[in-house]
A and B are shown apart, each in its own frame.
Chain A
Amino acid sequence: MLTKPASQDFIKGLWKENPIFRQLLGMCPTLAVTNAVINGLAMGLATAFVLIFSSIVVASIKKLIPNQVRIACYIVIIATFVTMADRFLAAFFPPISKSLGPYVPLIVVNCIILGRQESFSSKNSVGRSLLDALGMSLGFILALLVLSTIREILGAGTFLGHQIMGLWFKPWIIMILPPGAFITLGILIAISLQIEQKAKNKLQRR
């Protein structure tokens, strides 16, 4: 079996194995914090921080961890970085910490992170695990940005707090509320599946 080139480790996280649109993981924070672009961005960066450093640590010490206790160890490692991210935000960016609320600590149960440790970092080198983590993180951030951009522009007429829709636009408040989150994500997932299907059809016809 050919080992995929290292670049694949990075790129797959962006589209083919995008954590939200394809793997359908980590949806809880996705729906909760995408009511504004700044929140989605902060959450994406915090999650990226936890994912990248957890992957580095797990890949570095994977040979030392006995199989039976691996999940417990992963959880402790992940929880440590999550706490760091949470405390950092609370200390230096209080308003963002307030709007993200309990969702930063909830990164610890974000299936993406534990999933990558279990399926990749525990079996691959530090270098490849880092690329994998970077790719997944970027894919996650991109998905959050797409979702939060749609919700903020349609729901408040702003982007990153700046008014971009003219006064003629009456915001669709529903987009900022839970129903808007569910429906937008549902439609985006359907669209990404449609794009994937069309790409497959094209390949088959060749």
Chain B
Amino acid sequence: MELLAIFIAAILINNFVLHYFLGICPFLGVSKKLDSALSMGLAVTFVMTITAVVSWMINHWILIPYGLDYLQIVSFILVIAALVQLVEMFIRKISPPLYQALGIYLPLITTNCSIMGLALLAALKNYNFIEAVIFGLGSGLGFTLAIILMAGIREQLDLADIPQPLRGAGIALIVAGIMALGFLGFSGMIK
């Protein structure tokens, strides 16, 4: 099934962080603890799926029919900024405990390359509506998977004795590299 292929590809083969290099800032910044990593991952997945829907609508109902594709970048980024604001207000009203858990991470998501990257990639790959939604969902879950794995490893690394220059970003990137190496093994899963 084509949809299943897109879904699996988004999570494992073309993982947003480890293959497309999108979302590195939160990936490095919020992966120190497992529970905050999970919250960030879920927040991103949520926003990604909605963004996939909205950006598809804007692209196919407004931009392409009226030949306005040069407005793609401006419209996408403004929509994402607005969307994140709305999602934050919505969550705050509907479920305060959920807001407590996710809330702080949401504003960080706007300038997060992963959301804009998702909108651009879905448009580039010319997905139809359903494919775009699955792509959004899969990419978000892929991001979540990567960030959880990273957090798990970093919690252990905290106990290790790492040379001073490597601490922080240095070792995190090297670990990410090894993870990316592992994920390379998923290539060719889909024929």
Contact = CB atoms under 8 A, between A and B. Distances in A.
Asked if chains A and B are in direct contact (CB within 8 A), the reply is yes
Interface stretch (A123-131, A151-159, A164-172, A180-188): A180-188
Contacts of B176: 182, 186
Interface in B146-191: 163-166, 169-174, 176-178, 180-181, 184
B73 A105 contact: yes
Contacts of A99: none
B78 A189 contact: no
A182 B72 CA distance: 30
A187 B184 CA distance: 21
A116 interface: no
A95 to B, nearest CB: 17
Given A109-B111, A194-B165, A179 B177 contact: yes
A191 interface: yes
B94 interface: no
Interface stretch (B22-30, B44-52, B128-136): B22-30
Interface string B3-45: 0000000000000001111111100100000000000000000
B63 interface: no
Contact of B111 (A72, A79, A105, A114): A114
A61 interface: no
Interface in A166-206: 174, 177-183, 185-187, 189-191, 193-194, 197
Nearest to B166: A190
Interface of B: 18-25, 28, 70-74, 77-78, 81, 111-113, 116-117, 120-121, 124, 163-166, 169-174, 176-178, 180-181, 184
Contact of B116 (A105, A179, A186): A105
B120 A105 contact: yes
8 contacts: A27-B21, A106-B22, A106-B120, A178-B180, A178-B184, A181-B21, A183-B178, A194-B164
Contact of B173 (A75, A108, A182, A191): A182
- The SS class assigned to the A binding surface is helix
Interface stretch (A8-16, A52-60, A80-88, A138-146): A80-88
B165 A190 contact: yes
Nearest to B187: A177
A128 to B, nearest CB: 24
Contact of B24 (A31, A80, A180, A183): A31
Interface string A54-81: 0000000000000000011001100110
A32 interface: yes
Contacts, number: 119
Contacts of B117: 28, 102, 106
Contacts of A177: 180, 184
A86 B77 CA distance: 15
A181 B179 CA distance: 12
Interface residues of A, number: 43
Given A28-B23, A80-B74, A83-B73, A109 B112 contact: yes
Contacts of B165: 190-191, 193-194, 197
Given A28-B25, A194-B165, 12 more contacts: A28-B24, A32-B21, A72-B78, A75-B81, A108-B116, A109-B111, A178-B21, A179-B180, A186-B169, A189-B169, A190-B166, A194-B164
A94 interface: no
A72 B170 CA distance: 33
B174 A183 contact: yes
A66 B18 CA distance: 40
